[in-house]
Amino acid sequence: MKLPKLTKVVDSNKKKILLLSDDLRMSSGVGTMSREIVMGTLDEYDWVQVGGAIQHPDAGKIVDMNSSIREETGIEDASLKIYPVNGYGDERLLRELIKTEKPDAIMIYTDPRFWGWLYNMEHEIRQHIPIFYYNIWDDLPYPRWNEPYYESCDLMLNISKQTHNIVQNVCQNKPRTDWDSTYIPHGINEKYFYPVKNEKEQLEMNKMKSELFQGKDIEFCLFYNNRNIRRKMTSDTILAFKTFADRLPEEKRDKTAFVLHTQPVDQNGTDLPAVVEELCPDLNVIFSTNKLENKHLNYLYNIADVTINLASNEGFGLGTCESLMCGTPIIVNVTGGLQDQCGFKLRGEYINYRDYGAIESLHDWRKWENNEELTHGEWVKPVWPKSRSLQGSPPTPYIFDDRADWYEVADRINEWYEMSKEERDECGFKGHEWACSDDAMMSARHMCQLFKDHMNTAFEKWTPREKYEVHKI
C-alpha cells in the first residue's frame, strides 16, 4: 500500500506514538478521550493516529493537524497527523505506517475484540517497538480469553479500578518483568465542563433553557447523555421517569422534564419516540438531537438537576463524569466504571484499585446495598442492580449484564426531587470538587500526567522481543 508523503515541517526529538482508536475529531466517547490524551501530551510526544469510524467520510486521506493544534495549544513543535480509515485499519496499513512514520510505540484504545489482526502480528511489532493499551472492559466474570491480548502488550492502562483488577487477575502468572498495568480513569477537561457562574453565560444558558422547554415553567429536569443502544438501557430510564412522574400531582408533574441527548432511533437500540408515545405521551420527554459544541453541552448539564446512567455494563460512563464536573449530581447503576464515580469508601477509606482484588465488584446488592461499612459521595444516588444475567457472543463468550429495577430508580429520582435546589446544588458542587481532586483523578490534567508518567516508565523498562522463540519439545 503506497501512501502519499507530507511535507516535514519540524524535526522533533520527542517520542512518536502511533494511536489506533476512534478518530479524535469524532464525538464518540473514545474519540473524545483520544483527543484529550493527544492534546494534553503534545508537549511530551508527537502523535500519528489511525482514526477509525464505521464508514469514515475521509477514509484514504491524510490529515495534517499541525497548524491547528499549534495555534490551539501554543506548543510550537506540536505534531499530529491523522490517517482516517473505515474500521480500525489492517496489517498492511500498520506495516506501512511503522515503516514510514517510524513510531516509538503503538497505543491502541477500545475493546480488544477489534484488534485480533494486530495481536496476530504482535511478535513482529514488538521486535522493534512496544505496544501500549488503554483498556476498556466493563464487567466480570474474569475474561480469561483476553489473556493473550493483555500479555501481548507492554503497558496496560485501565479505565476503571475493576478493569485494573481484571487484568491483574487474568495475568497473575505473568513471567515478564518489563510488563506493567495501572489505573488511569477518563479525564474530563475542566475548560469545557464546569459550573456556569459567569453572568453572560448564564444569560445564554437561560435562553437555551427557554427554547429547550418551549417556554414551559420546568422546575426539575432529569438529563440523559448516552447513545441509544441496548446496554445503555435508555427505555428503562424513560420507564423510571414515568414511574416517578406518575406519583406526582398533575400540577407538579407538568413542571418536570426528562431531556435525552441522543438519537431517538438507533438500529442498535430502539425507537424511543414510539416508546414515549405509547407509555408517557403526556409527560415532558424532550429529545436533544443536534450535535452540540462543548459550550452548549456544558449548558445542558448545568440546566439539568440530575444526570442519569442505568447502563447494564459500562466501561466508564463519560456523561455522568462530565455532569459531576459541571456540578450536577447523578444517578448511576452500580456496575463497571460507574462504581468509580460514586466515591465509595469502605470503613472510611476510599476504595482503590487494589481493594478490588478482594471485593471483585460492588455489584452484589445482597452484600453491599445496606452494608454500613460502605458509604458513597453526597453527589450520587447509586442503584444496585437487582437482575444479573450472563450474556455472551462468539467474540465475547460471557459477561455479566447488570440491570437496575426502574421502580427503585424512580425512588432515587424522587429523593433528588424532594431536595431543594440549594441542597442539590450543594451536593453537585461536592461532586465537582471531588472529581477534580487527587482522590478521584478524573480531570484531563490528571489523566494526561498519568499517561506521561507511565508511558515514560514503560519506555525505560521496555525490552525488544527476540525474533525467534525456542520451545523445548
CATH topology of domain 15-187+447-461: Rossmann fold (3.40.50)
How many residues make up the chain in this entry? 473
Give the mean pLDDT of 200-209.
97
The helix/strand/coil state of 443 is strand
How large is the average pLDDT for residues 424-435? 98
Looking at the predicted structure, is the pLDDT value of residue 471 above 90? no
Same fold? 15-187+447-461, 199-440 = yes
CB atoms within 10 A of CB 87: 14
* 91-120 per-position pLDDT tens digit: 999 999 999 999 999 999 988 888 889 988
Residue 11 has pLDDT above 70, yes or no: no
Are 431 and 330 contacting, i.e. CB atoms less than 8 angstroms apart? yes
Mean pLDDT value of segment 441-461: 97
Fold of 199-440: Rossmann fold (3.40.50)
Q: How far is it, in rounded angstroms, from Cα 285 to Cα 470?
A: 64
Q: How far is CA 17 from the centre of its chain?
A: 21
pLDDT of residue 468: 74
Rounded CA separation 156/137 (Å): 12
Structural contact between residues 224 and 311, judged by C-beta atoms closer than 8 angstroms: no
Q: What beta strand segments (E) does 65-144 contain?
A: 80-86, 105-109, 131-135
Q: Residues 240, 310: contact at Cβ < 8 Å?
A: yes
CA 176, chain centre distance (Å): 29
- Grid cell in block for residue 134: 488503554
| 3 state SS of 410 | helix
Q: Residue 59 — pLDDT band, cuts 50, 70, 90? A: very high
Average pLDDT on 50-54 reads 93
**Residue range 202-229: mean pLDDT, rounded:** 96
Domain-wise residue ranges, the chain: 15-187+447-461, 199-440
Higher pLDDT, 165 or 466: 165
DSSP-based three-state secondary structure for 447: helix
Single-letter amino acid, residue 426: E
Residue 291: exposed, middle, or buried by beta-carbon count in 10 A (0-12, 13-18, 19+)? Answer: exposed
Q: What is the mean pLDDT of residues 278-293?
A: 95
So what's the pLDDT on residue 235?
Answer: 96
d(CA 327, CA 194) in angstroms, rounded, equals 7
List Cβ neighbours of 304 (8 Å cut-off, separation of 6 or more): 221, 222, 223, 259, 323, 328
Least confident of 240-254, 294-308, 345-359, 440-454: 345-359
Residue of 322, 88, 302, 78 lying closest to 209 (CA atoms): 302
